[in-house]
């Protein structure tokens, strides 16, 4: 059975030996040394044994790693490892876990739990070494087209992400957050409250996941720009046609000629991003199909459409930077024009995406060659839950 153990992600090194470690209810899980998050780490390993072997072990700490008894599980930080790196050593007397930091311990617990779910009774003696290949492993979840998930279900989703070692999570919002001064935007929808976001942010952090705000700020503003008091900001104006998915997706871009429009977006950003501990903000700015096709068309007398686009995006990026955060934008509009992209703050992250099965890497290479920060966001990261180590990689 031990020889059939399959772990996801596939570890860098896994050597299975002949012996067996038999956990018993009298054993302790012991953290050696000091760590601000050691209680979270200890509880994660206790949950691991509860689910994997049906026993609830005592947790404790020690200043001396030699003070363990047969059957104990020892957790010890190793500063020679990076923060997400870990080692598991299992012999017939003890289990020893070394990790470089909080996430490393969580990933070790995930690997150990997978081992226990694939074996019965004793745990095979082994050595295991692993660390992620990519720094950023992100998942993007649409929570604006349809009902938002109940918090209980969303937490289960986060648990699954954590189990497979994702370390970033974004939920896409257009109108499904309860903005304090725009009640008519969300009152007839399912939506997240400030309490929800704060709770989810803390829940993600306790599982080694950075929850990053993602708010539509340029295109995809159907709900916002159809409100009576904001319809003047809609590039193409409004008509009386019935709602259609195409109309929602294909139109309703902010009219850049209206200076009050970007101030509205800034106020929404300020309210929303304050709920997150992340130092990143995704302002989206994708699929601005209507840009300069209506009210703002006169701006094209002196500028190109991409220059108009970059001026609006730069103002938002500067606003985000002034708050001490790093802006992120989807790259579909200007990824091909790296000269324009270089006008944005130097640490702006381009989210290079594509849904097709025959996507080319030309733009990705061009951005990389200019030293522009980017995440590569494949189709699978948008539509499906994946057990791979990386749903969204990064090229830095």
Among 130, 147, 164, where does a domain finish? 130
Asked if residue 44 and residue 119 are part of one domain, the reply reads yes
Asked if residue 189 and residue 113 are part of one domain, the reply reads no
CATH code for the domain of 345 = 3.20.20.80
**Peptide bond connecting 233 to the previous residue in cis, omega within 30 degrees of 0:** no
Asked if residue 75 and residue 13 are part of one domain, the reply reads yes
The domain of 52 spans 2-130
Residue 389 has pLDDT above 50, yes or no: no
Q: What are the tokens at 73?
A: 């599980």
Burial-class residue 362 by CB neighbours within 10 Å (0-12, 13-18, 19+): exposed
Asked if residue 166 and residue 245 are part of one domain, the reply reads yes
Number of Cα atoms under 13 Å in the Cβ half of residue 358: 0
Among 88, 112, 130, where does a domain finish? 130
Which of 154-158, 195-199, 223-227 has the lowest average pLDDT? 223-227
Residue 326 has pLDDT above 70, yes or no: yes
**pLDDT grade for 243, boundaries at 50, 70 and 90:** low
**pLDDT grade for 79, boundaries at 50, 70 and 90:** very high
Asked if residue 206 and residue 149 are part of one domain, the reply reads yes
Residue, of 81 and 357, whose pLDDT is higher: 81
Asked if residue 79 and residue 37 are part of one domain, the reply reads yes
Asked if residue 41 and residue 164 are part of one domain, the reply reads no
Kindly calculate the radius of gyration of the chain based on its CA atoms and give it in whole angstroms: 25
Which pLDDT belongs to residue 131? 97
Which pLDDT belongs to residue 201? 98
Asked if residue 163 and residue 124 are part of one domain, the reply reads no
Asked if residue 323 and residue 196 are part of one domain, the reply reads yes
CATH code for the domain of 25 = 3.30.379.10
CB 342 within 8 Å of CB 372: yes
Compute the distance between CA of residue 322 and CA of residue 279 in angstroms, rounded to an integer. Answer: 12
pLDDT single digits (tens) 10-19: 999 999 999 9
Compute the distance between CA of residue 125 and CA of residue 386 in angstroms, rounded to an integer. Answer: 29
Asked if residue 235 and residue 384 are part of one domain, the reply reads yes
Q: Which helix (H) or strand (E) holds 202?
A: helix 194-205
Among 109, 130, 151, where does a domain finish? 130
Angle of CA points 243, 245, 247, to nearest 5°: 65
Compute the distance between CA of residue 169 and CA of residue 148 in angstroms, rounded to an integer. Answer: 15
Q: How many domains does the chain have?
A: 2
Asked if residue 303 and residue 228 are part of one domain, the reply reads yes
Asked if residue 312 and residue 191 are part of one domain, the reply reads yes
Residue, of 87 and 388, whose pLDDT is higher: 87
**pLDDT grade for 310, boundaries at 50, 70 and 90:** very high
What average pLDDT is seen over the chain? 90
pLDDT single digits (tens) 175-204: 999 999 999 999 999 999 999 999 999 999
């Amino acid at each position: 059975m031990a020889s059939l153990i399959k772990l996801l992600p596939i570890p860098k090194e896994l050597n299975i030996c002949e012996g067996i470690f038999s956990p018993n209810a009298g054993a302790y899980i012991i953290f050696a040394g000091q760590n601000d998050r050691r209680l979270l780490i200890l509880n994660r390993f206790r949950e691991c044994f509860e689910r994997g072997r049906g026993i609830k072990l005592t947790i404790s700490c020690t200043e001396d790693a030699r003070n363990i008894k047969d059957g104990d599980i020892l957790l010890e930080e190793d500063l020679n490892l990076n923060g997400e790196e870990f080692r598991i050593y299992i012999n017939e007397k003890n289990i020893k876990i070394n990790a470089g930091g909080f996430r490393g311990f969580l990933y070790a617990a995930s690997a150990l739990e997978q081992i226990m779910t694939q074996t019965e009774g004793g745990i095979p003696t082994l050595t295991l070494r692993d660390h992620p290949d990519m720094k950023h492993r992100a998942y993007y979840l649409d929570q604006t087209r349809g009902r938002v998930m109940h918090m209980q279900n969303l937490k289960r989703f986060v648990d699954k992400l954590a189990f497979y070692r994702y370390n970033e999570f974004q939920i896409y919002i257009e109108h499904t957050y309860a903005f304090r001064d725009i009640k008519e935007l969300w009152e007839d929808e399912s939506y997240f409250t400030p309490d929800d976001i704060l709770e989810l942010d803390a829940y993600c952090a306790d599982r080694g996941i950075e929850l990053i705000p993602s708010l539509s700020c340029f295109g995809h503003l159907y709900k916002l720009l159809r409100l009576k008091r904001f319809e003047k900001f809609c590039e193409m104006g409004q008509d009386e046609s019935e709602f259609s998915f195409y109309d929602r997706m294909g139109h309703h871009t902010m009219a850049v000629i209206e200076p009050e429009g970007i101030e509205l977006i800034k106020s929404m950003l300020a309210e929303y991003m304050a709920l997150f501990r992340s130092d990143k903000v995704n302002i989206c700015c994708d699929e601005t199909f209507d840009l300069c096709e209506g009210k703002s068309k006169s701006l094209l007398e002196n500028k190109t459409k991409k220059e108009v686009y970059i001026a609006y995006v730069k103002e938002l990026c500067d606003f985000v930077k002034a708050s001490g955060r790093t802006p992120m934008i989807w790259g579909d509009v200007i990824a091909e024009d790296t000269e324009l992209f270089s006008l944005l703050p130097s640490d702006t992250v381009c989210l290079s995406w594509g849904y097709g099965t025959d996507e080319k890497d030309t733009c990705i290479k061009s951005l990389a060659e200019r030293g522009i920060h980017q995440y590569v966001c494949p189709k699978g990261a948008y539509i499906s839950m994946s057990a791979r180590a990386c749903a969204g990689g990064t090229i830095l």
